[in-house]
Amino acid sequence: MQKIRLRQGVIEKIKLDRNLESDFQVAAILGVTAEEVDRMRHGAAISPIMAAHVAVIQGSGFNLSPWVEYIPAHPHQKQAA
């Protein structure tokens, strides 16, 4: 299974849409630590459950496409068929 991550700017969009001022507040909404929020902001892989959680809190139901993207496979790795 190919890994996914949040698209660039999603954490800031959550903060803006919810009038949040800190990563700690975002962390509380997402159920993670502020450190995990920072890692997600910088492209760390997330679970499909976290992707769905972000989509739901952002109001797109289970449409994940505005919020996540696949992490490109390294050219030396073979992708599973």
Q: State the pLDDT at residue 38.
A: 97
Q: State the pLDDT at residue 81.
A: 47
Torsional sign, CA 60, 72, 22, 27 = positive
Is 76 domain-assigned? no
Q: Give the CATH number, domain containing residue 63.
A: 1.10.260.40
Q: What is the pTM of this model?
A: 0.85
Q: Is the pLDDT of residue 78 over 90?
A: no
User: What residue numbers bound the domain in which 20 lies?
Assistant: 4-67
pLDDT band at residue 77, thresholds of 50, 70 and 90? Answer: low
Is 12 domain-assigned? yes
pLDDT digits (tens, 9 = 90+) for 7-65: 999 999 999 999 999 999 999 999 999 999 999 999 999 999 999 999 999 999 889 99
Is 60 domain-assigned? yes
DSSP of 24-80 = HHHHHHHTS-HHHHHHHHTT-EE-HHHHHHHHHHTT-TT--TTTEEEPPPPTTSPPP
Question: How many folded domains does the chain comprise?
Answer: 1
Q: Comparing C-alpha atoms, which of 46, 33, 34, 36 is closest to residue 7? A: 46
